[in-house]
Amino acid sequence: MIEYLTLILAIPLGWILAKITEDEKKIYSKTPYFPILLWVLAIAAATSYTLNKQLAITLTFIFITTFVWNKA
């Protein structure tokens, strides 16, 4: 249950990271860094769910954080 509560913390963490790195957004938004990373994380989280649930939840947390960071 607690692992799902930590997934909820990924959204505010993404917003905080976006605020902290607001002046560097022009640097990391030029290259397709986030879209490629998001696809890799999504595929890795989906495939690792059957193998290791803890790893899948960790990858999902990183995916949500990066997704919110990219959109904010």
Say if residue 2's pLDDT is above 90: no
Q: How do the domains of the chain map onto residue ranges?
A: 2-71
Grouping H, G, I as helix, E, B as strand and the rest as coil, residue 63 is: helix
Structure tokens at 14: 């993404």
Q: For residue 69, what are the contacts with CB-CB under 8 A and spacing of at least 6?
A: 14, 15, 17, 18, 21, 34
pLDDT in tens, 10-68: 999 999 999 999 888 888 777 788 888 999 999 999 999 999 999 999 999 999 999 99
pTM to 2 decimals?
0.86
Which of 68, 60, 66, 29 shows the shortest CA–CA distance to 43?
60
Token pair 């994380």 is at which residue? 41
What's the pLDDT at 7?
86
The pLDDT value given to residue 47: 95
Kindly state the DSSP code that residue 22 receives in the 8-state scheme.
G
